[in-house]
Structure 1
Amino acid sequence: MTDQAMASAVRQKPSLWTKIAYGFGSVAYGTKDAGLKYFLLLFYSQVVGMDPRLVSLAILIALVFDALSDPIVGYWSDNFRSRWGRRHPFMYAAAIPVALSYYFIWIPPAGWSDQALFWYVVILAITIRTFITIYETPSTALAAELTDDYDERSSILSFRGFFGWFGGNAMTVVAFSLIFPAFVTVAIKDGQFNPDAYAFYGLMGSLVMFAAIVISAIGTHQHIPKLRQAPPKRDMTMTMIFREIYQTVASGSFFALFVASLLRFAASGFAAGLTFYFSIYFWGFTAEEIGLITLGVFLSAIIGGLLAPFVTRTLGKKRGALAVGFVGFIGLPLPIFLRLIDVLPENGTPEIFWIVAITNTLDVGLIICFQVLATSMMADLVEQGEVKTGNRSEGLFFAAATFMRKFGEGFGIVIAGFVLSVVGVAAGATQGELSDEILWKLGAVYVPVILAMLLTVLVIISFYKVDRAKHDATVKELAARKASP
């Protein structure tokens, strides 16, 4: 296919089926996210009885390895040549390793010491994160190849945001509504603290991840002939490769978005690592109530998915992200703050359940919208990089997005683990065993930290400069270059 024909294909609006198939692949990342963000720290510290600081340190070590794999995979997929194009070989290859490594992290060997379990978590966390990179970076990069339209990118990425949250949330709802209640025994009155429940959860999650990756890869396979091809082969040293990576992404808008997103995901990981601590200990919700609150995130995914394209059309991506982000970020810790100043109803009342459930549903919807807009803003930097270097480097830009998400969220979970130790949350504590003083300290640390992180995100993202007019002008410039002899 000629460059002119490819340019014409890219401008077409992807079909509904293409958007669904592309978006469905994020169920794998969402499932991984739900487990590692929300359950891993809780499982190893409160169920297995491992020191939460060791769990956090294991996650941190895995993040160091992640920092190296993301740009390498992105660059590799940009320059990979095969009869299945640049992206799909990576997607297919990752399916089995992702599923297996995710399953085994939930079945730690019995009787091992904290030190042995530490290395068990380190090795499996590195394996999961490496292979999810091998899948997620090339898969997400397809968004910038399937269309270069400013509005359509937000539309197609809203499907990815919807399915990512839907898939991860579905696993969480199933855990609290079906799995944990099914693993209540005479000895273990609460299934949330039964290790066998997490083994079954891990098995289900691994099967879901495998299916999502394969279905998405097959569903977008037909587009391979229309996608961009790798540049001609070149003799490159590692120094030349990293210099080209830097030249591709070196811009004020990229660094503003990179730093803002890194901080935002760190806040997300911090909040996620403590979510079920607040639900179980701070609010005193039952497993069924937590399942119902989590069920509301399905509605959040719909809200965020529908809102993002509308905001793009009416406000533009940057202005929309600032407006939506401000409301969503303020709302995130609001119920906890109101509890700290003692203006909410008592725990155990229907009123407190519905206040938390409704605010969580609306707030998560706004945060999903913000996430879609930020990812779409990253996609719009692909053409800016092509103008500078002459190469299409979707993989590099979305490797940065994958890195920001994994490193930021992982680092946030590390912070959460140390906060739990600082405020005195004991490993192995069950519901009702933490004092009011410890719970108040947990909320009093959480609220200012999460607000400071998220409001700083908005300040940094204001330096992003690519709007609709600049993007359209860049697309036209690239088309003119390709049309000239």
Structure 2
Amino acid sequence: MARNRAINSPWMYAFGMLAMMIPSHAFSAFYVFYYMETLGLAIGLVTFARTVFMIWDAVNQPLAGYLSDRTDTRFGRRKPWLYVSIPLFFLMFYLVFAVPEGLSETALFVWFLVALVLFEAVATIIWVNYGSLFPELYRGNTLRKKASAIQQGYQIVAILIASVAGPILYDGLGFGPMALIFGGMFAVLMILFLRFTQEDEEARKTPRMGLKESFAATVTNKPFWIFNIANSFAQTVNGLLSSMIPFYAKYVLKVPPEQVSLLLASIFVSVIPLVAVWFWIIKRMDSVKAWRLSLLAYALSVIPLWFGSNLFTGIAAGVLVGFGLAGFLVTPPVVNSHIIDLDYAETGRRREGVYTAVSGFITRSSGLISVLSVLVVGVLLGYESGDNPGDNPELTFRVLISVVPFVLLVISIALSYFVRLKPLPDSEQA
């Protein structure tokens, strides 16, 4: 009976988020620092490889969603893809951080590019299929808000683990062993999540759309596009903050490597209780208004990062960022699921995979903004790499961690005012 109650419980579903976010956050937080600062790969080559990575990420998302929606096995649509991806993700994550010694700069660049492309191919399959389960398993605004809050709470625990343990592991053991440890945690937690997940049989029976028809429906869905474009600018901030924290700690706060974990913890420890605060807020608000409020809070929260000057002020600024980040993590899944339900009400067909994938396509495309921001600010202010940081690396990373995120979030807020959604049918409101 206990196992039956655990099947599709939001608490068990969230183990998938915990599993994926430990290595995913370690990847986003440390791979640029590893290749550029530790291995000395030039910022131009890093930027080119990341651009290819972003384009590939954007292109493969829709295909993964379409294939997932059309899969029909006795094990479900999403779970077979997830099971197959577990060992592949483990291997590709390790290869990103297991660079052989003695490579020339050209060989290092080739390794970097190939590792990024392979890692992203597998990561796309996992994220698309996991995300597609959310609107299928949890129906109704109340349940979704609860499930989203729990899911994002687990996500913050994962980010905290990666943020705090990551610097300790790579400083003490190296980046390769860090990847092995985080990859092993991913595999164990992912299997636990899948053991307690059962797909909706009715969703498998809905009529399938062809590739052209399926994507045409998303292209003509105006609220979907505006929401995701607005969301993508804010999502870019998540990645930018994560990847810039080690640089911010080194050049702005001037703290030793062993204290980077404290700075990262200040952001993510504060998010865990603040997720509950945001759940209390959104229970009393329309989902779109709650999402817009979270964007405003996030924009205001990055301003104090400009004024950081030591570990104490950096931690204080990090706690404030945690409040804005918590709101942004909780609110978008509820709005996105609302959009998917409206599509189902109009078409009679469940297409979570395509919608999740196209959302990912839009979000990942905007990641090019992050890449270009790092390149442009680095060139203008003289930062090239850890071997040649220029005359004022402190200003470089103040701008990248505060000014650029604030501008991106202001754009998100402006776009959010153009998102208007119809109420859900009564059967979906509960």
TM-score exceeds 0.5: yes
Q: 116, 120, 126: which is aligned to 1:135?
A: 126
Q: Which residue of 1 aligns with 2:183?
A: 206
Correspondence 1:136-175 to 2 at 5 A:
136-175=127-166
AA of the residue aligned to 2:36: S
Q: 213, 216, 232: which is aligned to 1:262?
A: 232
Q: 315, 336, 341: which is aligned to 2:285?
A: 315
Q: 304, 307, 317: which is aligned to 1:334?
A: 304
Q: Which residue of 1 aligns with 2:84?
A: 93
| CA distance in 2: counterparts of 1:202 and 1:284, whole angstroms | 26
Q: 248, 273, 284: which is aligned to 2:243?
A: 273
| CA distance in 2: counterparts of 1:397 and 1:328, whole angstroms | 25
CA contact (8 A) 1:78 1:396 kept: yes
Mean alpha-carbon deviation: is it higher for 294-303 or for 277-286?
294-303
1:136 Cα deviation after fit:
1.4
Write the deviation string for residues 391-416 of structure 1: whole angstroms up to 9, x where unpaired. Answer: 11111222233334444446524532
Write the deviation string for residues 434-472 of structure 1: whole angstroms up to 9, x where unpaired. Answer: 65x3422442465433222111101111222126xx024
| CA distance in 2: counterparts of 1:299 and 1:87, whole angstroms | 32
Q: 223, 228, 245: which is aligned to 2:203?
A: 228
Mean alpha-carbon deviation: is it higher for 380-389 or for 402-411?
402-411
Per the alignment, do residues 422 and 207 of structure 1 end up closer, same or farther by CA in structure 2, a change over 3 Å counting? farther
1:248 Cα deviation after fit:
3.8
Correspondence 1:188-207 to 2 at 5 A:
197-207=174-184
Q: Which has the larger radius of gyration?
A: 1
1:369 Cα deviation after fit:
1.9
Determine whether 1:66 maps to 2:57: yes
Give aligned pairs, total: 426
Q: Which residue of 1 aligns with 2:34?
A: 43
AA of the residue aligned to 1:282: V
Q: 354, 357, 362: which is aligned to 1:399?
A: 357
Q: Which residue of 1 aligns with 2:327?
A: 369
Q: 64, 68, 73: which is aligned to 1:77?
A: 68
1:386 Cα deviation after fit:
1.4
Determine whether 1:55 maps to 2:46: yes
1:15 Cα deviation after fit:
6.0
Write the deviation string for residues 414-435 of structure 1: whole angstroms up to 9, x where unpaired. Answer: 53244334322242349xx765
Q: Which residue of 2 aligns with 1:385?
A: 343
CA contact (8 A) 1:57 1:414 kept: no
Structure 1's unaligned 5+ residue stretches are 1-13, 184-196, 340-346, 480-485
Q: 94, 99, 105: which is aligned to 1:114?
A: 105
CA contact (8 A) 1:325 1:366 kept: yes
CA contact (8 A) 2:291 2:332 kept: yes
Q: Which residue of 2 aligns with 1:344?
A: none
Aligned residue for 1:58, secondary structure, equals helix
Cα root mean square deviation, aligned: 2.6
Per the alignment, do residues 64 and 387 of structure 1 end up closer, same or farther by CA in structure 2, a change over 3 Å counting? same
Q: Which residue of 2 aligns with 1:182?
A: 172
| CA distance in 2: counterparts of 1:325 and 1:230, whole angstroms | 38
Q: Which residue of 1 aligns with 2:378?
A: 420
Write the deviation string for residues 16-59 of structure 1: whole angstroms up to 9, x where unpaired. Answer: 97212211111243224323322111110111111122112112
Aligned residue for 1:471, secondary structure, equals coil
| CA distance in 1: counterparts of 2:401 and 2:191, whole angstroms | 39
AA of the residue aligned to 1:309: F
Aligned residue for 2:282, secondary structure, equals helix
| CA distance in 1: counterparts of 2:369 and 2:182, whole angstroms | 23
Q: Which residue of 2 aligns with 1:282?
A: 252
Write the deviation string for residues 73-93 of structure 1: whole angstroms up to 9, x where unpaired. Answer: 112212211001111111111
CA contact (8 A) 2:163 2:264 kept: yes
CA contact (8 A) 1:21 1:216 kept: yes
Write the deviation string for residues 328-355 of structure 1: whole angstroms up to 9, x where unpaired. Answer: 211213231x35xxxxxxx5xxxx4333
Mean alpha-carbon deviation: is it higher for 89-98 or for 154-163?
154-163
1:473 Cα deviation after fit:
4.5
Q: Which residue of 2 aligns with 1:22?
A: 13
| CA distance in 1: counterparts of 2:244 and 2:400, whole angstroms | 12
Aligned residue for 1:81, secondary structure, equals coil
Determine whether 1:443 maps to 2:418: no
CA contact (8 A) 1:308 1:370 kept: no
Mean alpha-carbon deviation: is it higher for 451-460 or for 267-276?
267-276
Q: Which residue of 2 aligns with 1:11?
A: none
AA of the residue aligned to 2:172: A
1:312 Cα deviation after fit:
1.9
Aligned residue for 1:82, secondary structure, equals coil
| CA distance in 1: counterparts of 2:365 and 2:184, whole angstroms | 25
Structure 2's unaligned 5+ residue stretches are none
| CA distance in 2: counterparts of 1:376 and 1:16, whole angstroms | 21
1:474 Cα deviation after fit:
7.5
Mean alpha-carbon deviation: is it higher for 382-391 or for 266-275?
266-275
Determine whether 1:245 maps to 2:215: yes
AA of the residue aligned to 1:288: E
Per the alignment, do residues 119 and 242 of structure 1 end up closer, same or farther by CA in structure 2, a change over 3 Å counting? farther
| CA distance in 1: counterparts of 2:335 and 2:219, whole angstroms | 13
Q: Which residue of 2 aligns with 1:462?
A: 417
1:381 Cα deviation after fit:
0.9
Aligned residue for 2:254, secondary structure, equals coil
Per the alignment, do residues 414 and 204 of structure 1 end up closer, same or farther by CA in structure 2, a change over 3 Å counting? farther
AA of the residue aligned to 1:56: T
CA contact (8 A) 2:207 2:349 kept: no
Identity of aligned residues (%): 16
